[in-house]
Structure 1
């Protein structure tokens, strides 16, 4: 897929939109008045330890304490004097934010912080060499792993990102050395900083988005802010991305936001119902516990027998569902209620089709399978807030339930 990236300042937000043939594929935003914390590395202070859930709550200088699982984290980098490696209340430790706070929970932390580049991720505390499962070429995988082996250490390992397959060894080695230097600086700087300070700040969301997109996803970037334009230009030059055209847009009569009809597209992406070209439709319902997606025949009337009609609708729905999950940034447990099909080969074909689409998602998405009730289960890693939390607000009347009390009057 070749597409364009639109980065525009709208009101107090910077909106980053990935588009392909005028279709909105991916969306992100940065609230100018609100600091972004995902990826930030802090010196945090342990405020409480709950042994029953084996977790600690850590103060990183924000209103709510952040959650740190002690089951999943070890190898703490202590910044206060210690006689042992056991974590205690009052300890100052190096942590990184992995998830934003939600309506009911504070941010989530890890002590296994990562230093991210475009081709590689250095992972402290995880000393293996991992590789993106989106790199299919076995020969390329072996070459990349062999290249990485000399840089593996007892303190850290690396994850080879998808974009590594598109560049030469010199570019990869250069980034490896840059990541190691950043890692050493993080440890060195932390020793002389006070509690709650940010040791390394994550890049702006538009730079992070650009870093995470695959090389074949972009051929043009259009920006309407001079500072952002300069940042993007510097990034493209740093990684020699000469194949991507950078444009500066300026028009007092028509904003870049309106030129690309982003308001309409965002509004559509927040609606419960999504119509398919065939006349069938999806109903997408995010809840506190999970996301439910229902497939309905709607206005579709196929000329073939009913089983063939249902199969065709489900196959069309699978493609649109994968698109909507990424666009709306739905995450956690996702349950899809496709229209029931009797033929096992149709069900298997549907799962293969859906899996082929979700593998294109930059955020890790896993197809679990189909339950005895013919419900399809997916999981998608929680990173950013869903689109309705980024761009919407709850109805004050019904508190976001979608219904109000009918008094019968």
Structure 2
């Protein structure tokens, strides 16, 4: 994980085997993030949508659908009303009074009314023209566990390797969970003892107490609990033994992350490193280069094959092309190889760009049933590390693969095109045949204005070679004219029609046009 901080914005890049797979940005001015808990006020109830629009302080009202209320919503709202009035002796749910559950097929206007105050959590960030999406099923996540109020359920991650370990954790958590709180056991809890899990439950209960205390006397819209910042949130959710290092370029953020790592990974104190080089952290670790090469319409792979990613209002489409390097012999195997390589790149691109919704992929046609099956298996394996919920369907009879992927935040879009430094985007440049005339004109002026100064000229390598070419070269002719040598240096970063003069102290000599 590479963390770059500019004060106003924090960028987090996640690399797997040296490849960029995720990039996250968080501005210090962000009003909220997924996981924040709010006290909101219902602005309107829309029966046709079976949803309500809630004011939580964002410029667009948040969307609360009936299916996101949860069966215990009446109990939650009754409890939150008592919390606002300050009538709760403490934040525990030992003596909580349960209200009747709502049915799955009910109507929103039977449960929620206009101007009602609701306790809800941000489920999705605003996307395009839509406001944030809310849920009344509150969850408070930690490294090993997630607690849910007004629930009796203990659920254990299916990713935990053995049934014995899942059963152990189930019994252990059952014995330590607070009354009327459900617990979800995360994959990271595998192998953890009762002490660590009990410590985390106490930490999560403190957050619940914070929600209850902040609700006392609050006037909606009001934020009751802030999710941890994006960096520590990613560490909490992603940190595994496979992590080799976390590199940070901001001293304060480095110390914050280091303290957090000491809490969640005491056995790995040297995991966090401080970037001391003057070279930008993203440049030093090859992130900038990968961003420039990964966010265009076309993504090229080492074999020469490439994929074309198109976005429409309804879905994303991805086309796989072989390029011009497909061998003429054994095309069946060559097509399989290209499709398998493309599957891994597509999985990376979906995760990197956070592409959500419906994705349709047009792979190169394959007739072999075994090859088609192998392609689906490869795609599913490539998406195993993707935290967004997703479904990969088998290839259709037309050779298309359909994937649905959860959309939680706006798609990451980074413009990789740059304004031409020569024409500044106009599409026009001065005729290069006149360039030497311009250089000579400015040189004559500088020679007269600074008769004793040492002079240096920086130009594009092509222009440097041209000025030094032949006998006598332009450089020699200028020496014979002024009896002063002009040092000509090439600079790869210079556009072909740009030139600059410098004095003996390497200060640029600027001329008024």
Partner of 1:93: 118
Q: Does 1:171 align with 2:196?
A: yes
| Superposition deviation, residue 394 in structure 1 | 11
Q: Is the 8 A contact 1:269 1:328 kept in 2?
A: no
Aligned residues: 388
Aligned equivalents of 1:371, 1:129: Cα separation in 2: 39
| Superposition deviation, residue 183 in structure 1 | 2.2
| Superposition deviation, residue 210 in structure 1 | 1.0
Q: Does 1:266 align with 2:291?
A: yes
Q: Is the 8 A contact 2:45 2:113 kept in 1?
A: yes
Partner of 1:60: 56
| Superposition deviation, residue 307 in structure 1 | 2.0
What's the TM-score once normalised by structure 2's chain length? 0.70
| Superposition deviation, residue 137 in structure 1 | 2.3
Aligned equivalents of 1:132, 1:340: Cα separation in 2: 37
Secondary structure (helix, strand or coil) at the match of 1:263 reads: helix
Aligned equivalents of 2:397, 2:221: Cα separation in 1: 50
* Aligned with 2:255 (options 223, 230, 237): 230
Aligned equivalents of 1:118, 1:175: Cα separation in 2: 8
| Superposition deviation, residue 235 in structure 1 | 0.6
User: Bigger CA drift: 126-135 or 223-232?
Assistant: 126-135
What's the TM-score once normalised by structure 1's chain length? 0.87
| Superposition deviation, residue 352 in structure 1 | 1.1
Q: Is the 8 A contact 1:166 1:215 kept in 2?
A: no
Q: Is the 8 A contact 1:14 1:29 kept in 2?
A: yes
Larger radius of gyration: 2
Aligned equivalents of 1:217, 1:241: Cα separation in 2: 15
Question: What is the correspondence of 1:2-401 to structure 2 with a 5 Å cutoff?
Answer: 5-10=1-6, 12-74=8-70, 75-76=73-74, 77-78=76-77, 79-80=80-81, 86-124=111-149, 127-151=152-176, 155-165=180-190, 167-243=192-268, 244-251=270-277, 253-302=278-327, 304-388=329-413, 391-392=414-415
Structure 1 unaligned runs (5+)?
396-409
User: RMSD value over aligned CA atoms?
Assistant: 2.6
Higher relative contact order (CA 8 A, sep 6+): 1
Assess, with a 3 A threshold, how the Cα gap between structure 1 residues 350 and 80 changes in structure 2: closer, same or farther. Answer: same
Aligned equivalents of 1:11, 1:60: Cα separation in 2: 26
| Superposition deviation, residue 126 in structure 1 | 5.4
User: Bigger CA drift: 362-371 or 339-348?
Assistant: 362-371
Deviations 1:221-259 (A, max 9, x none): 1111122112101211111343252212233x3121322
Aligned equivalents of 2:250, 2:143: Cα separation in 1: 24
Aligned equivalents of 2:220, 2:204: Cα separation in 1: 24
Secondary structure (helix, strand or coil) at the match of 1:288 reads: coil
Structure 2 unaligned runs (5+)?
86-98, 101-109, 419-513
Q: Considering fraction of residues, name the structure with more strand.
A: 1
Aligned equivalents of 1:179, 1:68: Cα separation in 2: 25
Aligned equivalents of 1:22, 1:300: Cα separation in 2: 25
Aligned equivalents of 1:11, 1:240: Cα separation in 2: 27
